[in-house]
């Protein structure tokens, strides 16, 4: 797997960046829609308990963080900016695929801002790990 990721980073910058964006946005869309289907199937669209809502939000937020980490690993330059942007675009893409009602635009903006923040944090964590790994390999 690592050799394929290195090959993506060796591509010309526009092609590698575009390919990384496509991979990450589709990964986010797949993960969010799969999670939504699983939650609907298990609980039959009845989220009555507050702890169930908190658990599902924590799982969804951790998925956004890990997608930001993956985007930060695929995109080598300006990884924090690109990972926050790709996660925000992925959230927007999944919202627009599932249909946004007239009263749901505030949820769309909240999801985009949360996705951008968590994606940026994931990209920053990936950048820190990359720097630490590089400094340990020099020694």
Say what the pLDDT of residue 123 is: 86
* H, E, C per residue of the chain: CHHHHHHHHHCCHHHHHHHHHHHHHHHHHHHHHHHHHHHHHHHCCCCCCHHHHHHHHHHHHHHHHHHHHHHHHHCCCCHHHHHHHHHHHHHHHHHHHHCCCCCCHHHHHHHHHHHHHHHHHHHHHHHHHHHHHHHHHHC
How is residue 20 written in tokens?
């990384």
pTM listed for this prediction: 0.74
Number of domains the chain is built from: 1
Asked whether residue 89 is domain-assigned, the answer is yes
Low-confidence ranges of the chain (pLDDT < 50): none
Asked whether residue 77 is domain-assigned, the answer is yes
Asked whether residue 101 is domain-assigned, the answer is yes
Q: Please state at what angle helix 50-74 crosses helix 13-43, rounded to 10 degrees.
A: 160
How is residue 114 written in tokens?
């949360």
Asked whether residue 1 is domain-assigned, the answer is no
Asked whether residue 18 is domain-assigned, the answer is no
Look up the domain containing 55 and give its range.
48-139
């Amino acid at each position: 797997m690592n050799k394929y990721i290195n090959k993506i980073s060796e591509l010309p910058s526009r092609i590698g960046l575009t390919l990384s964006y496509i991979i990450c946005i589709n990964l986010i869309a797949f993960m969010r829609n799969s999670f939504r289907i699983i939650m609907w199937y298990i609980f039959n669209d009845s989220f009555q308990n507050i702890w169930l809502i908190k658990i599902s939000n924590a799982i969804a937020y951790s998925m956004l963080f890990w997608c930001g980490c993956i985007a930060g690993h695929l995109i080598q330059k300006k990884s924090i900016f690109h990972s926050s942007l790709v996660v925000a675009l992925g959230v927007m893409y999944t919202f627009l695929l599932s249909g946004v009602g007239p009263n749901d635009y505030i949820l769309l903006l909240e999801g985009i801002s949360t996705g951008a923040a968590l994606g940026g944090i994931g990209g920053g964590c990936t950048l820190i790990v990359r720097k630490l790994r590089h400094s340990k390999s020099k020694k």
